[in-house]
């Protein structure tokens, strides 16, 4: 359905259609109050609900509000009508970096400038606990001054997505740019995976083609897994050495951003962006309740940008909120399949103390014993099942001061008994504190 009026929510005058995909249309628009050009991304609620993309959209909102940086596309405002959700975003009119590369390889100095801006943005995102996971030239835009802007955080990972091993486990990204450890599905460090993608991007900028390419997808993944590529002869020796460090198949040996910042080739002409001051810094100012309102049936233009006192996000080591697109398992190429754990997650706007108190209340009602240590809780049933006592482990993680993720997993007992308890006792008992449940991992 097209937007019938050329004025959206009384605040934006809509202009030409810039592009469209399966779930969204993007329009150029003008802020009626400031006269500033913006991009309006319009998404159909019905389509989003149909394909189960609600959590992905919520995550994209929270991430874009969290990362304010000169080299990251800025989200100004989120609005909603009965049928649509709208993002008002920074209008970046220079197009994709991909279009520039498609015309031919870049000179080393120009490639270095874009690479420096990319690393500056990625470093800032990582400092905020955000891992992009789909870095590629198509997701890098250029403004009218020729500066790079990172966009499309739809697949990004935030602190609640790490599991207890401190790693991410969702296979996602674009095949030619994905790191070898992501293919294995054994768990990976989001920062290391992003660095690999940055290395592929640098190679593409200077070479004009991909380092890993094969018409057969499986053959290409094997090349990625082995780090099987060659630099063209026009690469300088310094650039060649750096790319070999960036595209190191072993993530433990791969160069880190702090090490990269000290690299002589990288440092040439590099001007590091001044970090935001406490006054300038805007952490996720749209609350979970506000985001939820965007998916309700009401018409609301209330999700506007505000500037609260800044709060630094906690450094966390547990996640896996992305259960929407688990990707494809390629581990069979390299190893035997791993056993699947039974776990689920929910987000809550209640403080950790309230969440733990609610778990204690459920344990008491169901005659379960409970053990607590910091933000970890273990509930254990008194009855002996065919596989021992049913035990459930829970851990609370802080994403922002107003948003928490709770991970629940079976720690003992029979799976059928665990599923029955979760569905009949645990979930109903937690309904007062749950903002949203995330699809179980089976």
Active site residue 134: yes
DSSP state of 70: T
Domains in the chain, ordered, with CATH? 7-92+286-294 (3.30.200.20), 97-267 (1.10.510.10), 339-441 (3.30.310.80)
How big is the chain, counted in residues? Answer: 442
Q: How confident is the model at residue 293 (pLDDT cuts 50, 70, 90)?
A: low
Cβ neighbours of residue 133 closer than 8 Å, sequence gap 6 or more: 155, 156, 157, 168, 172, 173, 190, 193, 194
> Which token pair is 242?
């750096």
Q: Residue range 179-192: average pLDDT?
A: 78
Phi (first) and psi of residue 382, to 5 degrees: -85, -25
Whole-number average pLDDT of the chain: 76
Position 304 pLDDT exceeds 50:
no
> Which token pair is 381?
């049933």
- C-alpha to C-alpha distances, 314 to 158, 253, 280, 397, nearest whole angstrom: 11, 27, 19, 9
The answer to whether residues 27 and 42 touch, using CB atoms and an 8 Å cutoff, is yes
> Which token pair is 250?
């072993």
Q: β-strand 84-90 against 37-44: which pairing, if any?
A: antiparallel
pLDDT at 174: 65
- C-alpha to C-alpha distances, 104 to 99, 145, 205, 214, nearest whole angstrom: 9, 20, 9, 20
| Alpha-carbon span 287 to 281, nearest angstrom | 16
The 3-state DSSP class for residue 78 equals strand
pLDDT at 18: 83
pLDDT at 326: 30
pLDDT at 283: 38
Q: Residue range 124-148: average pLDDT?
A: 83
The answer to whether residues 80 and 44 touch, using CB atoms and an 8 Å cutoff, is no
| Alpha-carbon span 77 to 250, nearest angstrom | 40
Percentage of the chain lying above the pLDDT 70 cut: 71
Which of 123, 134, 194, 320 is flagged as catalytic?
134
Position 226 pLDDT exceeds 80:
yes
Position 191 pLDDT exceeds 90:
no
One DSSP character per residue, 293-351 reads HHTSSS-B-------PPP-PPPP---B----S------GGGTSPPPPPP-EEEEEESS-
pTM over 0.95: no
Q: How confident is the model at residue 48 (pLDDT cuts 50, 70, 90)?
A: confident
Q: Residue range 238-259: average pLDDT?
A: 95
Q: How confident is the model at residue 291 (pLDDT cuts 50, 70, 90)?
A: low
pLDDT at 317: 29
Q: How confident is the model at residue 153 (pLDDT cuts 50, 70, 90)?
A: low
The answer to whether residues 358 and 351 touch, using CB atoms and an 8 Å cutoff, is no
pLDDT at 231: 95
How many CB atoms sit inside 10 A of residue 385's CB?
A: 14
């Amino acid at each position: 359905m097209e937007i019938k009026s050329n004025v959206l929510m009384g605040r934006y005058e809509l202009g030409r259609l810039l592009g469209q995909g399966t779930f969204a249309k993007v329009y150029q628009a003008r802020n009626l109050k400031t006269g500033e050009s913006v991009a309006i991304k319009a998404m159909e609620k019905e389509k989003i609900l149909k394909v189960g993309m609600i959590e992905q959209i919520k995550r994209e909102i929270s991430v874009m509000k969290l990362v304010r940086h000169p080299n990251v596309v800025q989200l100004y405002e989120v609005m909603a009508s009965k049928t649509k959700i709208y993002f008002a975003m920074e209008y970046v009119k220079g197009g994709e970096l991909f279009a520039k590369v498609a015309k031919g390889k870049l000179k080393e100095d120009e490639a270095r400038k874009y690479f420096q801006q990319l690393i500056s943005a990625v470093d800032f995102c990582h400092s905020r606990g955000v891992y992009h996971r789909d870095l590629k030239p198509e997701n890098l835009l250029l403004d009218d001054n020729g500066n790079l802007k990172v966009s499309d955080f739809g697949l990004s990972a935030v602190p609640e997505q790490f599991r207890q091993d401190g790693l991410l486990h969702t296979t996602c990204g674009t095949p030619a740019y994905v790191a070898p450890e992501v293919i294995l599905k054994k768990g990976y460090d989001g920062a290391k995976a992003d660095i690999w993608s940055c290395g592929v991007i640098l190679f593409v900028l200077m070479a004009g083609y991909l380092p890993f390419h094969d018409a057969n997808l499986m053959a290409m993944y094997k090349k990625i897994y082995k780090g099987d590529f060659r630099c063209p002869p026009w690469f300088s020796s310094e650039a060649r050495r750096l790319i070999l460090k960036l595209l190191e198949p072993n993530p433990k040996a791969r160069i880190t951003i702090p090490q990269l910042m000290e690299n002589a080739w990288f440092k040439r002409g590099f001007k590091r962006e001044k970090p935001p001051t406490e006054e300038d810094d805007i952490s996720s100012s749209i609350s979970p309740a506000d985001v939820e309102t965007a998916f309700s049936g009401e018409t609301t233009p209330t999700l506007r940008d505000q500037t609260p006192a800044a709060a630094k996000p906690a450094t966390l080591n547990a996640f896996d909120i992305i259960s929407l697109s688990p990707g494809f398992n390629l581990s069979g190429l390299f190893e035997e399949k791993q056993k699947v754990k039974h776990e689920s997650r929910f987000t809550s706007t209640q403080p950790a103390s309230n969440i733990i108190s609610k778990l204690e209340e459920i344990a008491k009602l169901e005659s379960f014993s409970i053990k607590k240590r910091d933000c970890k809780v273990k509930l254990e049933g008194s009855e002996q099942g065919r596989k021992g006592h049913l035990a459930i482990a829970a851990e609370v993680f802080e994403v922002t001061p107003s948003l928490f993720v709770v991970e629940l997993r079976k720690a003992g007992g029979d799976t059928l008994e665990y599923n029955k308890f979760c569905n009949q006792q645990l979930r109903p008992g937690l309904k007062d504190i749950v903002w949203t449940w995330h699809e179980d991992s089976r």
